[in-house]
Amino acid sequence: MANDPRFPAGFLWGAATSAHQVEGGNRRNDWWRFEQRPGVVRGGRGSGDACGHYGRFDADFALAAADGHNAHRLSLEWSRIEPDRGRIDACAVAHYHDVFASLKRHRIVPVVTLHHFTNPLWIADAGGWESRATVDRYADFVRFCAREFGGEVDWWCTVNEPEVFAFRGWSEGIWPPGVRDDSRALEVIANQLEAHGRAFHVLHAEDRADADGDGIAARVGFAKHYVQLEALRAWHPLDRLQALLERRVFVEAIEQATSEGVVDLSIPGAKRVKRVLPELEGALDYYGLNYYTRWRVRSLAAVPHVATPGALLNDLGWEVWPDGLRRALLAAGRFGKPVLVTENGVADAHDTIRPGALLAFAGAMHAAIAQGVDVRGYLHWSLLDNFEWSDGWHGRFGLYAVDPGDPALTRTRRRSAEVLARLARANAITDAVREAAAH
């Protein structure tokens, strides 16, 4: 394998998106409402029409298919499907059937996320993810989706980055609901993990239809934000201790929940959350890995995370460190489950760093496979420049550029799209890939 440039047969190549970031007009969720508050979104421009993907999905999938993508990650917008508690919107359901039919026509396998940060207003207003009742409501939604879309979907991703969702919304307070309370953040993580466990069993019970004919009707995982956390000053005991504590809650506790069925979350100054949840034990068919960067941790500082001094940074100031992907894959591989890269990308409006980074990320993935990790695919974040949450339109992650100020929302192909296209078509790191990355 080490000298063979190929990836395993059947490797999935494609892009990842989420509904609120690309669809446009998602007015009935908590993010839309939050965006209306002054100062919460950098630059002041909210999601608005986003990329207009709700109406243009077919043309967008045609771009992906022309680039050789054979997989695509998207999320179902709960607030569209169930705008009020218990009321299913038939138009929204028909829309997502059209989306899956379009993907099928383009020979693209869907990887479907059931919760990607946004919540219907009726959920947010009934206590949101601090309330355990939300776990029940979410399980009902998952059951509906499994029955309705199970014939079109095999790859399910239950929740996206429970730890990012919780810390941004309930600890840093920069995402909805804008709370700053670590104890409440830990409760939210626990509820999301519990929701994952419930969803795992619901999906296996309800989705018995094998959409792609490989003999498996449902593959269920979550997407874990795998951030590399290392002490800024390796010699400094407090930096090291803080990095260790952060790794513990941010990475290890999440993994432990699904391997052992025990949720045990603590951070200094917050109320510990401990739950024994047998339904979580082993509740993972694949490990969905989102990898972007490494943060250096410094103790007793107002800004506790900084980039490695002198490192290559993307437009958002995140270090571009491809070997971190190899390491993350090795760590994820320890669980003995297949790993799917559910997100990886670079915010780079001018596409100067991304082509080379993509090649390096592919190399890192290839090296991890050679080291024995069962990696099933790579979904690049993202197909299009999109609404980047509190960073607004400042993080440009697209293989295709989209200017939200352009009334036509034109898609402009970046060189990175060609790099990924060559990787996908050859299913290997060839000279043609290197050439596209170098120009």
Contact footprint for ligand FCB (CB under 6 A): 18, 21, 160-161, 164, 225, 290, 343, 381, 388-389, 397
Going by C-alpha positions, the residue among 98, 96, 85 that lies closest to residue 19 is: 96
Q: How far is CA 311 from CA 182, 252, 349, 367, in A?
A: 31, 26, 18, 22
Six-digit token string for 223? 């997407």
Minimum Å gap between C-beta 162 and ligand FCB is 11
Residue reference for tokens 């790794």: 247
Give the position of tokens 């989420």.
Answer: 18
Residue 18 or 191: the one with the smaller Cβ distance to ligand FCB is 18
CB of 386 to ligand FCB, least distance (A): 8
CA angle, 434 then 342 then 131, to 5°: 160
Closest CB to ligand FCB among residues 207, 388: 388
Task: State the sign of the Cα–Cα–Cα–Cα dihedral 346, 352, 355, 356.
Answer: negative
Q: Identify the three-state secondary structure at position 438.
A: helix
Q: Given CA atoms 33, 38, 42, 46 in this order, what sign does their dihedral have?
A: positive
Strand ranges (DSSP E) for 332-384? 339-344, 375-381
Cβ at position 150, least distance to ligand FCB in Å: 24
The smaller minimum CB distance to ligand FCB, of residues 144 and 167, is found at: 167
| CA-based max dimension of the chain | 60
Task: Please work out, in degrees rounded to the nearest 5, the angle formed at the alpha carbon of residue 361 by the alpha carbons of 355 and 367.
Answer: 140
Looking at the Cβ atoms of 353 and 432, the one nearer to ligand FCB is 353
Tell which residue, 340, 364, 361, has the closest CA to residue 416: 361
- C-beta neighbour count of 1 within 10 angstroms: 13
Residue number, 21 or 79, with CB nearest to ligand FCB: 21
Nearer to ligand FCB, 21 or 258 (CB): 21
Query: Do 228 and 294 meet the contact criterion of CB atoms below 8 Å apart?
Result: yes
CB 112 within 8 A of CB 170: no
Nearest-approach distance from CB 22 to ligand FCB, in angstroms: 10
Q: Around 348, how many Cα atoms within 13 Å sit in the side-chain half-sphere?
A: 25
- Which residues partner with 286 through β-bridges? 221
Identity of the residue, 67 or 388, whose beta carbon is nearer to ligand FCB in the bound complex? 388
Residue 193 Cβ, how far from ligand FCB at the closest point, in Å? Answer: 17
Residue type, 285: D
Give me the least distance between CB of 293 and ligand FCB, in Å please: 10
The distance of closest approach from Cβ of residue 220 to ligand FCB in the complex, given in angstroms and rounded to an integer, is 18
Amino acid sitting at position 33: R
**Shortest distance (Å) from residue 316 CB to ligand FCB:** 8
C-beta of 21: minimal distance to ligand FCB in Å? 6
Nearer to ligand FCB, 355 or 395 (CB): 395
Report the C-alpha gap between 390 and 77 in whole angstroms. 19
Give whichever of 16 and 218 is closer to ligand FCB, judged by the CB atom: 16
CB nearer to ligand FCB: give 165 or 200: 165
Least distance in angstroms from the C-beta of 250 to ligand FCB: 12
